[in-house]
Amino acid sequence: MRNYLLTCLLSLATACAQAGMGLTQLAGLQDDGPVTVFYPSSADEQASQRGPFTLSLAWQGAPVRGNGRLVVISHGSGGNPWVHADLARTLVKAGFVVAFPQHRGDHTGDLTDPGPVSPDISPVVR
């Protein structure tokens, strides 16, 4: 019985230690767009609509200490951070803070200045 109680207490402690995924947006500098930040949080997650996606997030939830490391990811030309939410969640579960700066003129809401044209890398047929 004693081992059973100890196992239950350890299981409960482990479940409580698991962090949710917090989300906040930091204002950009001058004309830059916001920086979307995912991080470990002790707050309860809620369903949140972001673009066409419904994500489980703790909007501005209380942060908890992770591994002290930051990962900065480009959302890609014409992209947004929401399409990378699964990647962000995996990194947050590992203790990382994940930031997605919005590219000026090159995101889903503004395509006035898309990234450089990719070089033609089609194979040469002889």
Q: Which domain holds residue 97?
A: 18-101
Please report the pLDDT score of residue 11 as a whole number.
Answer: 43
pLDDT tens readout for residues 18-58: 679 999 999 988 888 899 999 999 999 999 998 888 999 99
pTM attached to this predicted model: 0.74
pLDDT at residue 51 in the model: 85
Residue 108 lies in a domain: no
Residue 69 falls inside a structural domain: yes
pLDDT (average), residues 51-71? 95
Asked if the structure places residue 25 within a domain, the reply is yes
Its sign, for the CA torsion 27, 29, 31, 37, is: negative
Q: Is residue 24 part of a domain?
A: yes
Is 26 inside a domain boundary?
yes
Per-residue pLDDT at 3 exceeds 80: no
Flag whether 116 is in a domain.
no
Nearest to 61 by CA among 119, 21, 101: 21
> 97 lies in a domain?
yes
Question: Above pLDDT 70, what percent of the chain?
Answer: 71
**Count of domains observed in the chain:** 1
- 55 domain residue, yes or no: yes
